[in-house]
Amino acid sequence: MIKITLPDGSVKEFKIGVTPMDVAINISEGFARNVISADYNLTTIETSTPLTTDGSLVLYTWNDLNGKKAFWHSTSHVMAQVLEEMYSGIKLTLGPAISNGFYYDVDFEDHKITDADFKKIEDRVLEISREKHEFKMRSVTKAEALEAYKDNVYKTELISNLEDGTITFCDHAIFTDLCRGGHIPNTGIIKAMKVMSVAGAYWRGDEKNKQLTRVYGTSFPKQKDLTEYLELLEEAKRRDHRKLGKELELFAFSQKVGQGLPLWLPKGAALRDRLEQFLKKAQKKAGYEQVITPHIGQKELYVTSGHYAKYGADSFQPITTPADGEEFLLKPMNCPHHCEIYNTKPWSYKDLPKRYAEFGTVYRYEQSGELHGLTRVRGFTQDDAHIFCTPEQLDEEFKKVIDLVLYVFSSLGFENFTAQISLRDKENRDKYIGSDENWEKAENAIINAAADKGLNTVVEYGEAAFYGPKLDFMVKDALGRQWQLGTIQVDYNLPERFELTYKGSDNELHRPVMIHRAPFGSMERFIAILLEHTAGNFPLWLMPEQAIILSLSEKYENYAKKVLNLLENHEIRALLDNRNETIGKKIRDAEMQKTPYMLIVGEEEEKNGTISIRRHGQEGKGNISVTIEEFASIVNEEINKTLKVFTV
């Protein structure tokens, strides 16, 4: 008999040779029907693998990431079978699962695969799948494996690097592939499959090697799941911030200025400024002081801070000057500058905390292949602040920062988020700087503050920075995608490196603790995420234009201008569309710009001193006629629903 431990901690005895599927059936027949893969002692195995030693078993269904991986990887076998059938003489290489599907890298030799072939491949994959072939692993000797793949240089290379005795093949139907394992029980559960795209990929990712064709695919246990996935992809494309940013004229890139260096257009700059003013106002209430520091600093500054060691080699190189030996760096972080601001004066414990805030632009060199719209750039502005406090104040300060972050999220419509508490590795404590006592204080401060604020948290051990624990906010956007936004980090390192001090009540000098925090993260990334989350329909308080006046004809121009003036008096941001265009065209353009309110003025409106309002995206609802005052209160009411006043 062997002892098998299940994830809930329960231990059961089974006969030697029991399979994961047997164990699943033992738990419940219903559960077993959904089990598609398994791990034993942290190693991926088949659900049919006989278990011969004591160990821990985890059974996976489609709802687990590991279950999905087995499902997708198994589908890659079936797709490889079909590709070989359709294009004779091609050479298969590797076919792993990736996030949202799988790929297979293939040397197509003289064949060419095109979009037109996709449907045929999909149909054939499903046809084979329906035949319910089992995936069966078998061990082979190195000599047998090499013999089987003697015509395939890629597999031969893979096999050569494997140790004899560890090599396995996987068979299903009439197809065999070199494989380590990790499959679903049989092909029958693959009910929907799609070839997504093809792309070039070098063998083993090395440009010196031959370029292969990577065939991307995905598959699902239900047709409905595939349909939903494709709809989600379409929606994500529609919401792509790069596309929306162009359409709404928010930002642009110029090859002449340089890759990864965003140019903010007037509307985008105004939007960004509004976000900054919003945060500045709340920060002022929360006791922050605004500072401004330069975009460059002496190289020595970053050697002291340790950033040079981290970013120096892979980032922008030092700027030299006519003076001998003088070197400056574009700043990769604002913290060193803020430390030096702290150091301009001696402090007493009574002066603390000091909270310095800056919308500070930093520069980091990203590989051009890594650049992506506003989410991966080479220059970006952090909504940065550094809090210098006594260890005793850490608890309270942490809670205050959480309040500010929550205020930001609620004002911008992010309702769905979790907070990840990143703590030290439990085992390996040597890699962290700072005393055990301080770490405990800081970790407890974060845990308590998060609990006190009722946050939905996950704790990750070993995810702390070497200089301190942190709290990261992960938001889910409207498409269910997860993004990391704001972060709060405790730091014992920089106060040490910059020799920051304050005089304690004991008249001795002590080191303050430093908190780095950025609720948005960076303005660029935040606006990108907000664009995709809202599809460009920002909260009304943030919209570049809240309303647009559409005159029915030139006759009403004077009245339209009067309306514009009145709106300005009510501090409503509005534009006037006085073009000699039909009202239909004007409405369509305003809808494209996602302007929240369209205000139509014509004869009737002029006579009654009213406007006809139409809300973006609600064409079916009909227009309502209101006075300017009534409209102003509609706008204010809508704004006050999301944008609350920050209170401390």
In contact, 611 and 634? CB cutoff 8 Å: no
In the set 194, 470, 511, 616, the catalytic residue is: 470
167 lies in the binding site for Zn ion (CB under 5 A): no
The Cα 361–Cα 377 span in angstroms is 12
Collect all residues with Cβ–Cβ distance below 8 Å to 436 and sequence separation of at least 6.
Answer: 429
| CB of residue 387 to Zn ion, shortest distance in Å | 10
- Considering only residues 509 to 548 of the shown chain, the ones binding Zn ion according to CB under 5 A are 516
Question: Which residue's CB is nearer to Zn ion, number 184 or number 275?
Answer: 184
| 470 is known as an active-site residue | yes
Question: Which residue's CB is nearer to Zn ion, number 170 or number 248?
Answer: 170
The Cα 508–Cα 349 span in angstroms is 10
Supply the Cα-derived Rg of the chain in whole angstroms.
Answer: 31
Cα 362 → chain centroid: 20
| CB of residue 76 to Zn ion, shortest distance in Å | 7
In the set 170, 179, 335, 339, the catalytic residue is: 335
| CB of residue 88 to Zn ion, shortest distance in Å | 22
In contact, 358 and 385? CB cutoff 8 Å: yes
Give the up-direction half-sphere exposure of residue 455: CA atoms within 13 A in the CB hemisphere: 27
The Cα 205–Cα 212 span in angstroms is 10
The Cα 331–Cα 324 span in angstroms is 21
| 452 is known as an active-site residue | no
| 516 is known as an active-site residue | yes
* Host H or E run for residue 362: strand 354-363
| Distances from the Cα of 126 to the Cα of 44, 71, 120, 154, 333, angstroms | 25, 14, 10, 27, 52
| CB of residue 435 to Zn ion, shortest distance in Å | 21
Cis peptide before 353 (omega within 30 of 0): yes
| 77 is known as an active-site residue | no
Question: Which residue's CB is nearer to Zn ion, number 67 or number 268?
Answer: 67
| 324 is known as an active-site residue | no
| CB of residue 210 to Zn ion, shortest distance in Å | 23
| 364 is known as an active-site residue | yes
Q: How far apart are the first and last CA of the chain?
A: 63
In the set 81, 283, 382, 420, the catalytic residue is: 382
Question: Which residue's CB is nearer to Zn ion, number 332 or number 596?
Answer: 332
DSSP-based helix, strand, coil % in the chain, nearest 5: 40, 25, 35
Question: Which residue's CB is nearer to Zn ion, number 240 or number 276?
Answer: 276
| CB of residue 170 to Zn ion, shortest distance in Å | 5
User: Cα torsion for 543, 545, 546, 547, to the nearest 10°?
Assistant: -160
Cα 478 → chain centroid: 13
Window contacting Zn ion (CB under 5 A); options: 21-29, 78-86, 169-177, 232-240: 169-177
Question: Which residue's CB is nearer to Zn ion, number 355 or number 594?
Answer: 355
Window contacting Zn ion (CB under 5 A); options: 176-184, 244-252, 373-381, 540-548: 176-184
387 lies in the binding site for Zn ion (CB under 5 A): no
Question: Which residue's CB is nearer to Zn ion, number 336 or number 596?
Answer: 336
In the set 516, 517, 573, 594, the catalytic residue is: 516
170 lies in the binding site for Zn ion (CB under 5 A): yes
179 lies in the binding site for Zn ion (CB under 5 A): yes
Window contacting Zn ion (CB under 5 A); options: 177-185, 201-209, 310-318, 601-609: 177-185
In contact, 54 and 64? CB cutoff 8 Å: no
- Residue 243 CB-density burial (10 A; 0-12 exposed, 13-18 middle, 19+ buried): middle
Number of residues located near Zn ion, criterion CB under 5 A:
4
| CB of residue 489 to Zn ion, shortest distance in Å | 7
Window contacting Zn ion (CB under 5 A); options: 41-49, 167-175, 397-405, 495-503: 167-175
The Cα 396–Cα 648 span in angstroms is 12
- Residue 611 CB-density burial (10 A; 0-12 exposed, 13-18 middle, 19+ buried): buried
Supply the DSSP string of 216-254, one letter for each residue: EEEEESSHHHHHHHHHHHHHHHHT-HHHHHHHTT-EE--
Q: Output the six-digit token pair for 84.
A: 């070989």
| 382 is known as an active-site residue | yes
| CB of residue 198 to Zn ion, shortest distance in Å | 21
Question: Which residue's CB is nearer to Zn ion, number 311 or number 538?
Answer: 311
Site string for Zn ion, 320-339 (x = CB under 5 A): ---------------x----
Window contacting Zn ion (CB under 5 A); options: 10-18, 175-183, 261-269, 549-557: 175-183
In the set 91, 386, 424, 616, the catalytic residue is: 386
- Considering only residues 418 to 447 of the shown chain, the ones binding Zn ion according to CB under 5 A are none
| CB of residue 226 to Zn ion, shortest distance in Å | 21
Beta bridge partners of residue 503, listed in sequence order: 348, 509
Site string for Zn ion, 32-71 (x = CB under 5 A): ----------------------------------------
Strand pairing class (43-45; 168-172): unpaired
Question: Which residue's CB is nearer to Zn ion, number 170 or number 574?
Answer: 170
In the set 73, 194, 239, 364, the catalytic residue is: 364
Beta bridge partners of residue 615, listed in sequence order: 597
In the DSSP assignment, the letter for residue 333 is -
Question: Which residue's CB is nearer to Zn ion, number 170 or number 587?
Answer: 170
80 lies in the binding site for Zn ion (CB under 5 A): no
Supply the DSSP string of 24-42, one letter for each residue: HHHH-HHHHHH--EEEETT
| CB of residue 160 to Zn ion, shortest distance in Å | 19
Site string for Zn ion, 550-589 (x = CB under 5 A): ----------------------------------------
Q: Which residues are catalytic?
A: 335, 364, 382, 384, 386, 470, 516
Residue numbers of the site for Zn ion (CB under 5 A)?
A: 170, 179, 335, 516
